[in-house]
Amino acid sequence: MNSPKIIFHIDMNCFFASVERAENKELVGKPIAVAHQDPLYRGMILSPSYEARKYGVRTTMLVRDALLLCHGLIIVEPKMRLYQEYSRRFMEYLESVSPVIEQASIDEAYLDVTENSKTEHPLELAKRIQDHLLTELGLPCSIGIGPNKFLAKMASNMKKPLGITVLRKREVDKYLWPLPIEEMYGIGKKTAPKLREIGVNTIGDLLKVDFSKLKEIVGQAYANALISRAQGNGSTEIVVGESDFQSVSNAHTFDNPVFDLSLLKETLKVIANTVSHRLEQQDKEAQTVGLIIKYPNFRQVTRSKALAKPTAEAHRIYDVAEEILEEMFHPGDQIRLIGISATRLIKPKAEMKQITIFDNLSEIEKEEAIKKLLKNLKANFGETSINRGYYYRGKDNE
């Protein structure tokens, strides 16, 4: 019988702000926020320190709004090359601890320490990693420890900064279920209000709600995935190195700056279709989706989100990009270019469909028929003859 996996999720605390402090000790202990300087203070907060967060300063907030909350807030211009260099050092050190490492973003990674734990207690190892990163790089981090990636990720969020938290599967009823549904990894800001409408206010409520109602909101496959995670299940596979520096992206430049949010969203739908098609051509799925925005002054901003489950589907790519757009866009913004990037690419895993008593057999058969039809059309008329794309699900059809 295989012993349970021991997986760390290592999450750097206020990464950009912490790097700035590592470079400039005079910023230590002061409320700072990394954001683009703008004469009208319309830059977006990328990373506030914990001292700034005490005043209510949050990521994606406008600088002008943040200054109203914290008059002594120090705004620091972002230095992406510097952050990438610190990220490289961070990952390089983790690789010296365990070769089984998956970089989830510029400031977080999963580490399989099952083998390490045979000679060193996981808590002692976590403390050693945390101390090294703080003393050698000047970077504080929180570490979540669990039997799978989902529980490790949830654990790392439970105590910040400089937390070390263990979340065992047998403890999900005590520590996971009482959490607000918004705190569940994989639940976006658009999905959470819809879940609350059907009585899902906490993670534990996912196991009590009428499955048919849950399926109407998030779809059958994702509904099953959410219930599985609420039970403490998750992937234990660490994707080592395969996804580094791989990406697919597409963007559109407008003839004139656009300030109409509905037009931006319609453009994103087309871009999502293109990105999805390119992923399918390469037989890849993305683990991270990013939004690219360029303003008339040529300032470009990119913001991305890691996905709970890899995808190449246009509607899932669009949903994430739309959510980021709604967080970043403010009335009056003028957009010159908008695009989508799909990164951390991996090969799709062949999955055996598990049919449960909750599944709608007619829907499964319909989906399989569509896949078969598309395959036949492409075989007869070429790969580019037809593709599945983003479709709009109106409120009456959700």
Q: What is the pLDDT of residues 297-308, one digit of tens each?
A: 878 888 888 887
Does 242 reside within a domain?
no
* pLDDT for residue 60: 84
**Of 395 and 159, the one with more pLDDT:** 159
| Residues 63 and 91 grouped into a single domain | no
Quote the pTM value. 0.73
| Residues 320 and 334 grouped into a single domain | yes
| Residues 253 and 312 grouped into a single domain | yes
Q: Comparing C-alpha atoms, which of 301, 322, 318 is closest to residue 60?
A: 301
Domains in the chain: how many in total?
4
Q: What is the mean pLDDT of residues 61-71?
A: 94
| Residues 38 and 120 grouped into a single domain | no
| Residues 342 and 252 grouped into a single domain | yes
Q: Which domain holds residue 70?
A: 16-80
Does 164 reside within a domain?
yes
Read off the pLDDT band of 356 (50, 70, 90): very low
Domain boundary among 171, 195, 210: 171
Query: 285: exposed, middle or buried (C-beta count within 10 Å: 0-12, 13-18, 19+)?
Result: buried
The CATH number linked to 320 is 3.30.1490.100
- Looking at the chain, the whole-number percentage of residues with pLDDT higher than 90 is 61
Q: What is the pLDDT of residues 169-200, one digit of tens each?
A: 999 999 999 999 999 998 888 889 999 999 99
Side chain identity, residue 237: E
| Residues 345 and 283 grouped into a single domain | yes
Q: What is the pLDDT of residues 229-285, one digit of tens each?
A: 999 999 998 877 654 447 889 999 998 889 999 999 999 999 999 999 889 888 899
**Can you tell me the distance from the alpha carbon of 304 to that of 343, in angstroms, rounded to the nearest whole number?**
9
| Residues 225 and 263 grouped into a single domain | no
Does 144 reside within a domain?
yes
**Least confident stretch, 27-41, 128-142, 240-254, 316-330:** 240-254
Contact 231, 147 (CB under 8 A): no
Does 298 reside within a domain?
yes
Q: What is the pLDDT of residues 110-126, one digit of tens each?
A: 999 999 999 999 999 99
| Residues 98 and 67 grouped into a single domain | no
| Residues 274 and 348 grouped into a single domain | yes
Does 63 reside within a domain?
yes
Does 26 reside within a domain?
yes
| Residues 313 and 338 grouped into a single domain | yes
Query: 204: exposed, middle or buried (C-beta count within 10 Å: 0-12, 13-18, 19+)?
Result: middle
Active-site residue list: 108
Q: Answer whether residue 390 shows pLDDT above 60.
A: no
The CATH number linked to 43 is 3.40.1170.60
Under 8 Å CB-to-CB from 167, ≥6 apart: which residues?
A: 144, 145, 146, 151, 152, 154, 155, 158, 175, 176
The CATH number linked to 197 is 1.10.150.20
